[in-house]
Structure 1
Amino acid sequence: MTCPICAKDADPKYRPFCSRRCADIDLGKWLSGAYSVPAGEDEEWNEDSVPPEGKPH
């Protein structure tokens, strides 16, 4: 397995990363919002929405 940040061989101690540095870079990307899953316009939700199972929240 290679490190998803720098492509060096992964270190079992920091798996799947090669070092603490690459693990911290990845964490920083998650915390800054660099990684995201796009939502479609029809997937809007608000507090007045009813959950899919039909039960009020």
Structure 2
Amino acid sequence: MEKGNLEILSGGYYKPLMSAILDRDKIGQVEKMSSYIKKKFGCKETKELWLAERV
């Protein structure tokens, strides 16, 4: 990463418990967050994801 740049990560939009939802819903969660990031920050695409699993 170049100096002065910020890396924005995607993830689940509503902080879902990914292990408890259907695969299609997992994909939808990530797509919704990625779409929000693109609109909010003007990114062309998101390349990375932060997957926080709660126990």
Per the shorter chain, which TM-score range?
Answer: 0.3 to 0.5
Q: Which has more radius of gyration?
A: 1
TM (normalized to structure 1)? 0.32
Of Structure 1 and Structure 2, the greater helix share is in: 2
Bigger RCO (CA 8 Å, 6+ sep): 2
